[in-house]
């Protein structure tokens, strides 16, 4: 039987045909964009749990089968082929992996834009010691628009590549500066001779009194971690970027809003929570007791790093991270007692009926914190690392949204407040804006 082209909606005596949209991978959506115009009805879908807000050709996620592809390429293949984070950024933003001349030109653009405006360096002196680096980052990025105002004219297409490169490159510099400032140590400038990840690690850990030795394994690991977090279609921060961008706000303010969304504990902060949980379990030495708490409906405790809104099987990123974890610790001949706790916890959960029956599997955050910790990155910086990684995804979505001439995002509501006191008030044509 061929797939239907329309869905029929019956409201009272009225029947309306609604077009069915089919995605490349066979995903189906009912197009409701003219529903209000044709019937006076709007759709009600709090938190947009069942709403496709756009058509997108950047990232494909299949939560039932555990598939993640960037521009059609499975994440496993990108990792296996040793693609770099910079190449992934190019892939997401431009739609294809760069050939050698495109790759060179892109790297050069990143190098040229790696320095933050020198005047902005003084901002770091004014933030209170102990300020959260995510708050610093979102403020600094918003301030970029003051120093590079050309991006306000977002119709100037020739500036978009430069502003995108500036963001991808400078944010790394800002993140490392924020960390150095939090320690009270002198900042370390970016170097054009280093790769993207090596450069970041050097800015984080080099010091005038103890030069930093850049290890190949660390660079490889950081590269993998950033790639795995680079995009994940319409999550909360990406939707924020697309929504704010639709008002034609400049790119920097838009990305700054995305960073603010990501800073929320329900979004970017889970791997930090995993570390806290592992430490607690390590101290108590009792997984069963912890599981009893998690299963208790009256207890808010959750097995952090497990479960996902979209994935109802293994998160493909979690499989890759676990393999990287084993490889990295073996290659470096190091160990972390929390890794053993994580292994035991995962094994126990995967054989426990509670988790099996609810399709709860490890997500990307279960092992990522342990790896960031192994790289020497403090827990306070974990969400910043996420932001660094997610930048190419946000930029790709912003560009796609601008390119599609998206109208300003303006959802509807179902008003449940006091009755309007204007006698002639007609709620269908209230003229709100
Ligand atoms: N531990 C224990 N029970 C869980 C967990 C968990 N981690 N996740 C879901 N459940 C239970 C729920 O209590 C619910 O049980 P019930 O059917 O008896 O009521 C059932 O599984 C379904 O859960 P939902 O809440 O419907 O799952 P939802 O899709 O809303 O939530 C979420 C997804 C928020 C990720 C959830 O699994 C969770 O809180 N996980 C822990 C936090 C975490 O790891 N977040 C990172 C996600 S990945 C990312 O953001 C990059």
Report in angstroms the alpha-carbon separations of 383 from 61, 137, 266. 22, 11, 11
Q: What spatial distance separates the first Cα and last Cα of the chain, rounded to whole Å?
A: 45
> If you ran DSSP here, which 8-state letter would residue 101 be given?
H
For tokens 């930029």, name the residue.
395
Q: Give one word for 172, left, alpha or beta, with left for phi > 0 and alpha for psi -120 to 50.
A: alpha
DSSP H/E element including 139: helix 133-147
Res. 131 pLDDT band, cuts 50 70 90 = confident
Measured between alpha carbons, how far is 64 from 213 in angstroms, rounded to an integer? 43
C-alpha angle 236/241/245, rounded to 5°? Answer: 150
Identify the weakest region by mean pLDDT among 52-56, 284-288, 385-389: 284-288
pLDDT over 50 at 155, yes or no: no
> If you ran DSSP here, which 8-state letter would residue 122 be given?
G
Which residues does residue 20 pair with via DSSP β-bridges, in sequence order? 30
pLDDT digits (tens, 9 = 90+) for 212-233: 999 999 999 999 999 999 999 9
* Segment 24-51 mean pLDDT: 95
- Predicted local confidence at residue 265, as pLDDT: 77
Atom of ligand 1 nearest to the CA of 274: 44
Distance 296 CA to ligand 1 centre (A): 14
How many percent of the chain have pLDDT more than 70?
A: 96
Nearest Cα neighbor of 392 from 263, 228, 266, 271 is 228
Nearest Cα neighbor of 31 from 59, 2, 58, 5 is 5
Atom of ligand 1 nearest to the CA of 266: 45
Mean pLDDT for the chain overall? 92
Would you say 278 and 170 are in contact if contact means Cβ atoms under 8 Å apart?
no
Measured between alpha carbons, how far is 294 from 305 in angstroms, rounded to an integer? 13
- The three state secondary structure string of 301-358 is CCCCCECCCCCCCCCHHHHHHHHHHHHHHHHCCCCCHHHHHHHHHHHHHHCCHHHHHC
Measured between alpha carbons, how far is 115 from 270 in angstroms, rounded to an integer? 31
Distance 154 CA to ligand 1 centre (A): 39
Structure tokens given for 188: 């370390």
One-character DSSP codes across 200-265: HHHHHH--SSSPPPPPHHHHHHHHHHHHHTS--SS-HHHHHHHHHHTTT--HHHHHHHHHHHHTST
| 281-317 exposure pattern, b = at least 16 Cβ within 10 A, e = fewer | beeeeebeebbeebeeeeeeeebbbbbbebbeebbbb
Nearest Cα neighbor of 384 from 286, 260, 216, 280 is 260
- Phi and psi at 316, nearest 5°, equal -55, -30
- Phi and psi at 120, nearest 5°, equal -70, -20
- Predicted local confidence at residue 128, as pLDDT: 87
> Residues near ligand 1 with C-beta < 6 Å?
267, 270, 294, 302-309, 358, 360, 363-365
- Predicted local confidence at residue 429, as pLDDT: 53
Measured between alpha carbons, how far is 398 from 306 in angstroms, rounded to an integer? 30
pLDDT digits (tens, 9 = 90+) for 328-356: 999 999 999 999 999 999 999 999 999 99
* Segment 52-74 mean pLDDT: 97
User: What is the four-CA torsion angle of 364, 366, 371, 376, rounded to 10 degrees?
Assistant: 110
Atom of ligand 1 nearest to the CA of 302: 1
Closest protein CA for atom 37 of ligand 1: 307
Query: Structure pTM?
Result: 0.93
Which residues does residue 19 pair with via DSSP β-bridges, in sequence order? 6
pLDDT digits (tens, 9 = 90+) for 283-319: 998 999 999 999 999 999 999 999 998 999 999 999 9
- Predicted local confidence at residue 385, as pLDDT: 96
- If one compares 175 and 422, the residue with the highest pLDDT of the two is 175
- Catalytic site residue from 229, 308, 315, 397: 308
pLDDT digits (tens, 9 = 90+) for 235-272: 999 999 999 999 988 889 999 999 999 988 788 888 88
Please say if 352 is a catalytic residue. no
Please say if 308 is a catalytic residue. yes
Pocket test of ligand 1: the residue of 274, 307, 321 to mutate, having most ligand atoms within 8 Å of its CB, is 307
Which residues does residue 10 pair with via DSSP β-bridges, in sequence order? 15
């Amino acid at each position: 039987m061929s797939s239907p082209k329309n869905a029929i909606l019956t409201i009272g005596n009225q029947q309306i045909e609604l077009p069915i949209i089919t995605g490349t991978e066979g995903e189906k959506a009912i197009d409701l964009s003219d529903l209000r115009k044709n019937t006076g009805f709007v759709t009600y879908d709090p938190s947009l749990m069942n709403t496709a807000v756009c058509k997108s050709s950047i990232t494909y996620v299949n939560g039932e089968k555990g598939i993640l592809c960037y521009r059609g390429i499975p994440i496993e293949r990108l990792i296996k082929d040793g693609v770099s984070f910079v190449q992934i950024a190019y892939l997401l933003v431009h739609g294809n992996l760069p050939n050698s001349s495109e790759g060179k030109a892109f790297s050069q653009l990143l190098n040229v834009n790696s320095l933050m405006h020198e005047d902005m360096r003084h901002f770091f002196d004014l933030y209170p010691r102990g300020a959260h680096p995510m708050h610093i980052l979102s403020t600094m990025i918003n301030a970029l628009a003051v120093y590079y105002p050309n991006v306000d004219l977002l119709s100037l297409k020739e500036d978009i590549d430069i502003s995108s490169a500036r963001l991808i490159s400078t944010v790394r510099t800002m993140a490392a500066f924020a960390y150095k400032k939090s320690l009270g140590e002198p900042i370390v400038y970016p170097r054009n001779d280093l790769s993207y990840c090596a450069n970041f690690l050097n800015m984080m850990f080099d010091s005038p009194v103890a030069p930093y030795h850049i290890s190949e394994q660390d660079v490889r690991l950081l590269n993998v971690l950033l790639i795995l977090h680079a995009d994940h279609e319409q999550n909360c921060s990406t939707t924020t970027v697309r929504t704010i961008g639709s008002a034609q706000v400049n790119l920097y303010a838009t990305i700054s809003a995305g960073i603010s969304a990501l800073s929320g504990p329900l979004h970017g902060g889970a791997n930090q929570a995993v570390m806290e949980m592992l430490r607690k379990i390590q101290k108590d030495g009792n997984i069963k007791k912890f599981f009893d708490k998690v299963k208790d409906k009256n207890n808010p405790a959750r097995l952090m790093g497990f479960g996902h809104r979209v994935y109802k099987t293994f998160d493909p990123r979690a499989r890759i991270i676990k393999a990287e974890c084993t490889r990295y610790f073996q290659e470096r001949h190091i160990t972390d007692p929390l890794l053993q706790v994580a292994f035991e916890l995962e094994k126990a959960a995967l054989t426990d009926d509670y988790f099996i029956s609810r399709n709860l599997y490890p997500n990307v955050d279960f092992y990522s914190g342990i790896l960031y910790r192994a790289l020497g990155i403090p827990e306070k910086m974990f969400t910043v690392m996420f932001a660094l990684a997610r930048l190419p995804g946000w930029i790709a979505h912003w560009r796609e949204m601008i390119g599609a001439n998206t109208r300003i995002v303006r959802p509807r509501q179902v008003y449940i407040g006091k009755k309007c006191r204007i006698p002639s008030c007609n709620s269908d044509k209230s003229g709100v804006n």
